[in-house]
Every structure is written in C-alpha cells, then in structure tokens.
C-alpha cells in the first residue's frame, strides 16, 4: 500500500496534493470575492438616497394606519382652509369666535364620520 494522499481515487505525492489543495482554496477564494463584491454593490445601491426614499414611500403607502392618518390630516387642512375662506379672517374677535366655532363643528363632524368619508374617497 502506497503512502500519500488520494485525489479522485488516485494516489498522489505530497507536492501534488498541496498543489491540488491550493487550487481548491483559490477557487473558493474567487467565489467568495465575487459574492462579497455583489453584496457590496447591493449595499451601495440600497444606501442611495433615492432608493431609501422610494422604499419609505412604498412602505408608508402600504401602511393602513398611515393612510388613515394622512386622510385625517388632509381633511383637517381642507376644513381649516374652507373655514378661513368662509369667515374671511378679518381679525376681529367676532370673526375669530366664528372661525373657532366652525373649526370645532367641522372637527366634530369629521371625527364622527371619518369611515364614511374615507369610504367615499375610496382610500381605506
């Protein structure tokens, strides 16, 4: 029986075995370097500001709680705008009180009917 190592069912001496192992390790190293390079490119792409913004907007758009909150804010801003346009904001105490009263009334109406409003707008 010969001493040495076996590669593919053949006995080889030490130098051939070492050369074979070096070849295998170089091959593994090249594969790992390619994977690392691909991972770095992917990381670089994911850290771009445009990608971060796009992913954030996509995630927020899928969040039902954010949609409802956004709807409530939009309705509130729109309501405030309408109240301001109706009362014309002349700066008098009477105008201020009417303005505040209309805002409270609008807020009460919206808070009690937000599901119906959202349903009509096809948002939720």
- Reported as a single tens digit per residue, the pLDDT across 85-113 is 666 655 666 666 777 777 777 777 777 77
What is the percent of the chain where pLDDT is above 70? Answer: 66
Res. 118: pLDDT tops 70: no
Number of other residues whose CB lies within 10 A of the CB of residue 74: 12
Tell me the C-alpha distance between 24 and 41, whole Å: 26
pLDDT for 121 equals: 64
Domain ranges of the chain: 5-46, 63-120
Tell me the C-alpha distance between 24 and 5, whole Å: 15
Res. 13: pLDDT tops 70: yes
- Reported as a single tens digit per residue, the pLDDT across 25-57 is 999 999 999 999 999 998 888 788 887 788 777
**Does 79 or 34 have the greater pLDDT score?**
34
Tell me the C-alpha distance between 42 and 46, whole Å: 6
CB 4 within 8 A of CB 12: yes
Residue 1's pLDDT band, with cuts at 50, 70 and 90, is very low
What is the percent of the chain where pLDDT is above 90? Answer: 17
């Amino acid at each position: 029986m010969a001493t040495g190592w076996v590669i593919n069912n053949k006995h080889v001496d030490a130098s051939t075995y070492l050369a074979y192992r070096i070849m295998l390790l170089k091959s593994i190293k090249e594969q790992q370097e390619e994977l690392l390079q691909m991972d770095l490119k992917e990381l670089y792409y994911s850290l771009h500001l445009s990608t971060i913004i796009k992913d954030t907007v996509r995630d927020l758009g899928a969040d039902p709680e954010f949609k409802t909150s956004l709807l409530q804010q939009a309705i509130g801003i729109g309501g405030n705008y309408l109240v301001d346009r109706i009362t014309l904001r002349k700066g008098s105490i009477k105008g201020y009180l009417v303005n505040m009263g209309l805002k409270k009334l609008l807020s009460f109406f919206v808070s009690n009917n937000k599901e119906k409003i959202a349903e009509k707008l096809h948002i939720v």
